[in-house]
Structure 1
């Protein structure tokens, strides 16, 4: 089993309920176990600021899936929950990002690990720090390395 850390956010509909439902769906997958979850933080919108505040959290999971397979699962959950990708940084019912998977460093057209912007976003780092300070430190240190 591999360890992975996910960031979840929502700002339309009922964000706290949607986060809880996303965590439930992730944990219901037969190859994923939710091991820890942060508290839910309310933060101002980032990137496109003329929208409602976001509810954000992080979870730690154990999985037998590889990183790309895990990505497929979380994207499927987003879609099943009604996520529509029509505006970059726009409002969303649910957003699930893989922040880190083990200590894998990966750059591909579909997935970059650790998440390339996590170290710049307190709404990602603060919940991650709450559940896994060592992973948050690794994400920051890895992002600081020259490309």
Structure 2
């Protein structure tokens, strides 16, 4: 049975907008019945203390029948196909795909935590997610819209509709 999932996309190396475009094409293969929706692309400053270029971020939502770990494996395969190398925590990357939500499930496994642990604080996740799911309620019964502040909206620059 298919479940609605949301995936954050981010890139800041090797033509980041093209990286997201390519990732969206790859996600189509995981999405059932043309269910893929993608937010606008946004520019954001990197997290942490590593000096690196700004990011291009988006969120994709789609229906899938893949179990959570199989979906994680598929997302990591897409990252690897696009040159992702995990050298530095919060470091620059060609592509980062994070599974944000898997239906209303709460998952705590060694390789996977859903909802994504940092999503409630990250404007580059919440605002694109609101583009495609403005009335979404998280598994903790918090509305997505209640998490988005004016400051968060000011932090991002919409790049591509």
The alignment's TM-score, normalised by the length of structure 1, stands at 0.89
Query: Aligned to 1:98, what secondary structure does the other structure show?
Result: strand
Any residues of structure 2 matched to 1:1-147 within 5 Å, and which? 1-29=2-30, 33-135=34-136, 137-138=137-138, 141=142
Shift >2 Å, 4+ stretches: 28-35, 139-142
Q: Are residues 43 and 56 of structure 1, via their aligned partners in 2, closer, same or farther at CA, if it must alter by over 3 Å?
A: same
Greater share of helix: 1
Does structure 1 retain, via aligned residues, the 8 Å contact 2:28–2:36? no
Partner of 1:145: none
Q: Are residues 32 and 58 of structure 1, via their aligned partners in 2, closer, same or farther at CA, if it must alter by over 3 Å?
A: farther
The number of residue pairs the alignment matches comes to: 141
Does structure 2 retain, via aligned residues, the 8 Å contact 1:118–1:139? no
Q: Cα deviations across residues 95-131 of structure 1 (Å, max 9, x unaligned)?
A: 0000001000011110001001100111111100111
What's the C-alpha RMSD, in Å, of the aligned pairs? 1.9
Query: Aligned to 2:21, what secondary structure does the other structure show?
Result: helix
Does structure 1 retain, via aligned residues, the 8 Å contact 2:79–2:95? yes
Query: Aligned to 2:138, what secondary structure does the other structure show?
Result: helix
Does structure 2 retain, via aligned residues, the 8 Å contact 1:99–1:113? yes
Distance apart, 1:80 and its partner CA: 1.0
